[in-house]
Structure 1
Amino acid sequence: MDSVQSKRLLDDYGVPYSLNSGSIPNEKNNRFIKSPTEKYTKNITKLEVKEKDQKNDNEKIYVCVRKRPLNSNEIKREDKNAVYIKENKTVIVHEQKLKLDLTKYINYHSFTFDYAFDSDASNKDVYDQTGASLIEHVFNGGTATYFCYGQTGSGKTYTMMNPEQGLFILAAKDIFSLLQKEKYSFISVYISFYEIYQGQLYDLLNNKKKVYAREDNNQQVCIQGLSEYECFSENELMSIFINGKNSRVTSTTGSNPDSSRSHGIFQVVLKDKSKKNLPIYGKFVFIDLAGSERGADRDDTDKQTILEGQEINKSLLALKECIRAIDQESKHTPFRQSKLTQVLKDSFIGNSKTCMITTISPSSMNIDHTLNTLRYAHRYSISTK
């Protein structure tokens, strides 16, 4: 094999492609391209989509990974792409290491999930693969939950809360479309939006008034004092959402100039208006979790930012403990360890269905965070199967 051809078969670290990813380099620019089997929704047949939806119908919780593209700063400093998606399920991470003699080598990590979305997948692609069974579940009287987990700057808020194409607005379109049907004429839609900041709950639709998580006589979690607004259209829902989003706590960190420092929870509740007291018929909850990395890794020196990070990671650790307890079928699940796990209780018990979207950066500079995120999500995936 001549030297030119040999060079084309090596990745950015000089390792042969054939040893790991199964993908091939582009002849023109030596960049990764996907094989024909690694396309997304636009190339999936209706039969395949139906089979995937049927699979989701049988799962109470499923986990997906979404890789974002390299951002402008990463491209500017010439970061390498170190994350590859294979067969829409497997995430392969190339971690560069040094031997004792300072020789470079690649440590390969592989994780398999229900779905894995590459950097060219849109929010619509993610929703088309994961949202259908959730919408159906809500209109069958259940509770559905979408939540995003990942490093600050990995695309959580863009995926979940983007005003134009976030998962919440794509789901809202389907909800109001279904409400046009005569059989659902008894349903009214109510919206609420709150955040968890420093272990406290604040109503984003009522001047950030402090509210409280309580359990009723049926051990169902209720948010006492939380305001609700009846909503009659997608545009009205969007207007309500924007008002709340503008009140959410954000700040500049070493990782992201506009980092969410709170967990944001947006609820769409379906109520039966044909009955007295408007009982809840179904509920869809959208959760944008705050970033998961350590303050030391972000080069943060501000005391408030450090305290925020500590509280964020404490709540995420509590979430992991709840998942572990559910996996081990423990008699006691520690939902009261944090406000986050307390309000998420209904997403894991009873008539519930949950989808976790794990967002990751492809940058070689973020390998440690990416691996930590994938390990967290992988344990979650294993625990719930």
Structure 2
Amino acid sequence: MDTRVCIFAYGQTGSGKTYTMMGKPGRDQKGIIPRSLEQIFKTSQSLESQGWKYCMQASMLEIYNETIRDLLAPGRSSSEMPGGKQYTIKHDSQGNTTVSDLTTTNVFSTADVTSLLEKASHSRSVGKTQMNEQSSRSHFVFTLKIFGSNESTGQQVQGVLNLIDLAGSERLTKSGATGERLKETQAINKSLSALSDVIFAIAKNDDHVPFRNSKLTYLLQPCLGGDSKTLMFVNVSPEASSAGETLCSLRFASRVNACEIGVARRQTQSKSSSDNSNRLSYG
């Protein structure tokens, strides 16, 4: 069974989600994604002395207007028109997730990941609104799959890390969105509402959790329940004009923090161990 971890940034447009996750490349201002990968590679190297060997594979996609786009596909650019190849999300009986035809790349160092992030950032859909000069118009999902084996003990482990920069929520009256920007805003707000519905259904222990109401929640379904670990960063704007959105974000964060999603367990082929009950947490 995989150990599944999901970390994502939530908040209104322009509140710093992309900076939190990506940082400022080339300015030594590292975000969650590069810092996480540095720690993972450092730890994997330190475990080599104990007989562990790791293989890691990275993929990056965006969900734009409820359509999946492969940000690492050859020839991909932000000017690519919607449509084209259709990607299908599939979950197997073990909770493993695959996206059909998605480009997956072996990575061996932080330099490899940095190069891929730069390519993905140039491919991601962005646009200008009255609230943000460079507003991300899609949900960005970075996925790292980790496979480990120990020849001396015979153990094998798997892990999946999803690091997500959500598109920002925004009020149409403030964003001034029209045309294509309006369509994007409606899709963003609808998918964020679907994420809220899923989290609140889990918090209430509902029999039915509406994962299929959006591509985002369906993609993350295995990370939002069972033995997964999930963390949400809530970004807020310091501007007084954003006080209303800030209160909404903080109320949402409070409810998320009270949401228990199951019991976190770590499993290998030879043994398993369990930790305390797991929560959806925010920071």
Change (3 A) 1:232 1:184: farther
8 Å CA contact 1:178–1:184 kept in 2: the answer is: no
Give the drift of 1:382: 2.5
Q: Secondary structure at the match of 1:323?
A: helix
Q: How big is the alpha-carbon RMSD for the aligned residues of Structure 1 and Structure 2?
A: 2.0
Match of 1:173 in 2: 38
8 Å CA contact 1:195–1:263 kept in 2: the answer is: yes
Of 9, 12, 18, the residue aligned with 1:151 is: 12
Give the drift of 1:216: 2.4
Q: Which has the higher contact order (CA 8 A, sep 6+)?
A: 2
CA distance, structure 1, for counterparts of residue 40 and residue 51 of structure 2 = 10
8 Å CA contact 1:221–1:342 kept in 2: the answer is: no
Question: Residue 318 in 1 paired to residue 183 in 2?
Answer: no
Letter in 2 for 1:192: S
Give the drift of 1:283: 1.3
Of 118, 133, 143, the residue aligned with 1:257 is: 133
Letter in 1 for 2:12: Q
Give the drift of 1:370: 1.0
Match of 1:202 in 2: 69
Of 99, 103, 107, the residue aligned with 1:223 is: 99
Q: Secondary structure at the match of 2:88?
A: strand
8 Å CA contact 2:52–2:148 kept in 1: the answer is: no
8 Å CA contact 1:249–1:261 kept in 2: the answer is: yes
TM, length-normalised to structure 1: 0.60
8 Å CA contact 2:64–2:138 kept in 1: the answer is: yes
8 Å CA contact 1:251–1:261 kept in 2: the answer is: yes
TM, length-normalised to structure 2: 0.80
Match of 1:189 in 2: 56
Tell me whether 343-352 or 230-239 shows the greater mean CA deviation. Answer: 343-352
CA distance, structure 1, for counterparts of residue 157 and residue 38 of structure 2 = 20
Match of 2:159 in 1: 282
Letter in 2 for 1:345: Q
**Structure 2: segments with no counterpart, 5+ residues:** 77-84, 261-278
CA distance, structure 1, for counterparts of residue 12 and residue 21 of structure 2 = 14
Change (3 A) 1:184 1:152: farther
Match of 1:9 in 2: none
CA distance, structure 1, for counterparts of residue 179 and residue 227 of structure 2 = 42
CA displacement, residues 67-119 of structure 1 (integer Å, 9 cap, x when unaligned): xxxxxxxxxxxxxxxxxxxxxxxxxxxxxxxxxxxxxxxxxxxxxxxxxxxxx
Change (3 A) 1:155 1:168: same
Match of 2:174 in 1: 297
Give the drift of 1:226: 1.1
Tell me whether 227-236 or 177-186 shows the greater mean CA deviation. Answer: 177-186
Alignment length (residue pairs): 242
8 Å CA contact 1:323–1:383 kept in 2: the answer is: yes
Give the drift of 1:271: 1.6
Change (3 A) 1:308 1:280: farther
Q: Secondary structure at the match of 2:245?
A: helix
8 Å CA contact 1:203–1:210 kept in 2: the answer is: no
**Structure 1: segments with no counterpart, 5+ residues:** 1-139
Give the drift of 1:330: 1.3
Q: Which has the larger strand fraction?
A: 2
CA distance, structure 2, for counterparts of residue 165 and residue 150 of structure 1 = 20
CA displacement, residues 131-153 of structure 1 (integer Å, 9 cap, x when unaligned): xxxxxxxxx95111110000111
Match of 2:250 in 1: 374
